[in-house]
Structure formats: structure tokens, C-alpha cells
Amino acid sequence: MAITLRLILGDQINPRHSWFQEQRNDVIYVLMEVRQETDYVLHHAQKIIAIFAAMRDFARQLRNAGHRVDYLEIGDPANQHCFQTNLDTLIARHGAVALEYQEPDEWRLDSQLAAYAKGLSITCRMADSEHFYTGRDEVARQFAGQKRWLMESFYRAMRTRHRILMNDEDKPHGGQWNFDHDNRKAWSGTPPEPMDSRVRHDHSALWRAIVIADVKSFGQPSAGQFAWPLNRPEALRQLDHFVENILPHFGDFQDAMSSRASRLFHSLLSFALNTKMLNPREVVARAEAAWHEGRAPLTAAEGFIRQILGWREYVRGVYWANMPGYTGHNVFGHDLPLPTWFWDGETRMRCLAHAIRQSLEDAHAHHIQRLMVIGNFSLLAGLHPAEVHRWYLGVYVDAFEWVEAPNTIGMSQFADGGLLATKPYVSSAAYINRMSDYCKGCYYDKKLREGDRACPFNSLYWDFFTRNKDTLAANPRLGMVYRQLNRMGDSAVSALQAHASGLRRQLERL
């Protein structure tokens, strides 16, 4: 029998892919737990466990459905921990005449597998992953010849093309494309944060295998009480729970933060989406239906759909249009190393202590913690964007480079000079105080700009705009900032800069 090997990567856990809809004796599915993937960046323990557990469960499902599977575990002595060498062995072992793989989402693996395929003497084919709304180059095609790319224009085109939240006259429901201005309430404790109803797993045995294989990691493994979904049925249950109980509040509190709540009204669906257990179309359809049926307000449904139909597809397009090279951008020439408290949360800045500790405990933080606390500080302080990128890529359970890098390098660090975002997302303490309870009880004073107890965000904010005047002053969205800076006068600005320089010299002690 002429055997075809089909490689399934750790973020391709999609039982609805057309590959699996027919049973073929001449196809062997291969999955492998390899050091090349665990080690390309230092990973959070939960990310490694979540991927391996999902891969193992997927292999089990495939076998139960009658498919042939060859699975290489992390501790298998035959495992050479590299896709090419393992594939060479498997091709020889099974006498395979063809290799197929689904399009990888990361440039790194895409080019690695393409180079490998070129050198093979057997047939090799890359299949569609059947997941995204858009092809890799669709965003680039929409903006061909245009200097400025805008997520909002892309999002409107997607709404129109896929007829999502559109009326019969092809106009957006509610007369507006975007309800962003309604999505900015702070959270005072009401309504209460929803219960976390996710199924818990005991992955202690898997964790032991990972440790025995000497895979390096950081963060809490939480192996005995593991919360990330194992498979599609669990992800669907999580989606149901979110749509029925949480989505109605998503819009109002989308940008809120709290020291008393880690999840607030976010979906926690990014891991299930990025590993393809869930398809973005079904998630969007559920949110749209909840609005149609009167179970969620339009502001909430639109806000949630914008993240998936808009941002998620858009950042992927930016990634493929700019790789390789995107992760090396550093328009401000920032070069400071990450303070060691990025690895334990031991800082007196209450906002950062909470967001970082939560990231280390849960392998998750919601968008505003990632953007306006950790990312905001990193940019204002002048941390090296490639180091910040590696931290984000390692720490979050949903982090895969195609989505993490544009968010970190582009949206959060503005290191690409504005390819993705129209202005840097930075703020002083005033914004963090408005959107959270972090500043109450913080060692630092949110109102002070200078002195030992002054909130570091304040002087760093003004110093950032002063240092980077040449790059930023012409940006029309920053006119107000520069007018305010001009009004402050040279000596006040110099004093703030001196204070900020002092802070940057002692980041470890903040």
C-alpha cells in the first residue's frame, strides 16, 4: 500500500478539518512532541502542558475514529526532537510515498517545512488549515499601494463581505460600525465576575514526563487543577457558557482592570481558537445570534466580534506581509533588559505586580493588562522590544508568533514605527487609575510626577514623548500631547526627564 504521512502540528487540533472526514488505510497521521518547539523560547509550563495534553487527546480521538496514528512522545528514546529528522525516520519506517502538512501559522515553521519539502524525493503537499476567514496575503492585497493600513477599514470590509451584523440595506446594524466608545466602563464589583466553569484536569503525570525530559519552563504548572481545554467538546462548553452568561457584559467592561478579578468578562477562548479546536466563524456566529435573539446588547456583540473578525485576522495579515524581519523592528532604539521582576512579579508598582503575577499563575492576562500595564510600562521604560516579544511569546498560553508578534512589536511597543497601530498605546497613571483599582493601595502616588513616591508611569510618559519627538511629533493623533508638552515649559520637562532617567537606571528597584 502506498502510504501518505500527514503531519499535524500542536496548534492544529481541529477534528473538523476535511482530512479527518474520510477514513483511509493508506494515511498515517503523525504528531510529535519535540524540543525544537518547546525550546525556541522559554515557555510557561502551562503552555507546554496545554499543547501536549491537547495533542495526546487528539491522537486518542483519531485512533478511536479508526484513523492510523504514529505519535512521538517527549520521552520516547526514538524521538530526535526535530521535525525533519523525525520525519525522515517516519518516512523510512512506513515506506511513505507522500508527505502532507497543513499550512503552519508561524513563518519559522513554514520556511523550515518548505525547505525540507524541497529536498524530499517523495511527493509533498501543503494543505489549507481551513481555519481563518482570510488567506495569508489578503490584508496586504486590500491595502496594496496604500501607505497607511487601518484595522477599521479592514474590519468594515470583512463585515460587509461576510454579512455580519449587517441589515438588508447592507448597512451596519445600529447605524454604527463600531461601539468602542461604549466599551470603556470601569468595574466596581457589580455585576460580579462570573464563576470559572471550565473543566479541571489532572495533568500531573504529563507534567512529570515533561520535567523528566528536562524541558525548561517557568510559571505555575497547576498540573493538578489544569483549566485549559483539552479538546473541542470542552472548548464548545466554554463557548456556550461565555455566550449565555458573560457576553452581555463584555462590551461595558472590555477595557476594565481589577486587582480582585483576573478574567472579568473576557471569554478565555484564545487558546481554543488558536489551536483550532474552535473555528472563528462559529464563535462569531454565536455572538451574532445572541444579539439577534435579544440575549446580548449590540455593543457587546459588536465589540466581541470586532476582536475576532477584525483584529485577529488583521494582525495575521500584518504578520505575513512583514515576515521575516518584523520581530527585529526597534524604531526607538530601545535597549534595556527586562527587570528580573518580570519573572516573579516582585515590584512595588501594584498594577504591574498584579498583571505579572496573574500571568505567571494563569498563563493568561486580558488584553488591557497586556497592553496598558505590562506593554505600556515596557515601552515607556525603553525595554528592548525583542526581549519584550520573547517574554510575551513564552508566557501566554495563547501565544503563537503570528498573533503575538504584531500585538507586541506593533500594537504594544510601536517598534514597527506604525505599520500596525496609528499611535503608541501609552498612558500615565491617570488612565490606569480610571480603568482599575490598582492605584488605591499602591506604594506609589498616582498624582505625583517626581520624588521617591511618584508613580513611575508619570515621568516616564512625558520623557517618552520628549525623547521621541522626531519620530512622533508629526503624528496628527498626538497633537494634544505635544501641545501639552509645549505648555509645560523647558525646565519642568527637563526635571521630569532627569527623574525618568533615574528610574530607567534602577528599574530593578521599582
User: By CB under 6 A, is residue 11 in contact with ligand DLZ?
Assistant: yes
Distance CA 288, CA 196 (A): 23
Return the residue of 109, 113, 300, 349 that touches ligand SF4, per CB under 6 A.
349
Report the nearest approach of ligand FAD to the CB of residue 449 (Å).
Answer: 26
How far apart, in Å, are the Cα atoms of 462 and each of 140, 410, 469? 35, 21, 11
User: By CB under 6 A, is residue 33 in contact with ligand DLZ?
Assistant: yes
Closest CA to 318 of 152, 110, 136: 136
DSSP 407: I
Helix (H) or strand (E) holding 38: helix 35-38
**Per-residue mark of binding to ligand SF4, 434-473 (x: CB under 6 A):** ----xx--x-x-x--------x-x----------------
Helix (H) or strand (E) holding 280: helix 280-292
**Type of residue at 157:** A
How far apart, in Å, are the Cα atoms of 75 and each of 144, 206, 274? 48, 10, 26
Task: Find the binding residues for ligand FAD in span 331-370 (CB under 6 A).
Answer: 366-367, 370
Count of C-beta atoms within a 10 Å radius of residue 145: 4
Report the nearest approach of ligand SF4 to the CB of residue 345 (Å).
Answer: 13
Return the residue of 5, 6, 10, 394 that touches ligand DLZ, per CB under 6 A.
10
Cβ proximity to ligand SF4: between 381 and 429 the closer is 429
Report the nearest approach of ligand FAD to the CB of residue 8 (Å).
Answer: 20
| Residue 408 interface partner, choices ligand DLZ, ligand FAD, ligand SF4, none, CB cut-off 5-8 Å depending on type | ligand FAD
Name the one residue in this structure whose C-alpha cell is 504514529.
Answer: 70
User: By CB under 6 A, is residue 432 in contact with ligand SF4?
Assistant: yes
Is-contact 309 155, C-beta < 8 A? yes
User: By CB under 6 A, is residue 379 in contact with ligand SF4?
Assistant: no
Q: Residue 480 CA to chain centroid, in angstroms?
A: 31
User: By CB under 6 A, is residue 351 in contact with ligand SF4?
Assistant: yes
Cβ proximity to ligand DLZ: between 73 and 193 the closer is 73
User: By CB under 6 A, is residue 411 in contact with ligand FAD?
Assistant: yes
Is-contact 468 380, C-beta < 8 A? no
* Binding piece for ligand FAD, criterion CB under 6 A, among 5-13, 191-199, 305-313, 482-490: 305-313
Q: Give the list of residues 6+ apart from residue 506 with CB closer than 8 angstroms, or none.
A: none
How far apart, in Å, are the Cα atoms of 391 and each of 37, 91, 371? 16, 36, 14
**Per-residue mark of binding to ligand DLZ, 89-128 (x: CB under 6 A):** ---------------xxx--x-------------------
Report the nearest approach of ligand FAD to the CB of residue 498 (Å).
Answer: 29
Cell of residue 374, nine digits? 505590562
* Residues in contact with ligand DLZ by the rule CB under 6 A: 9-11, 32-34, 37-38, 43, 48, 51, 104-106, 109, 400
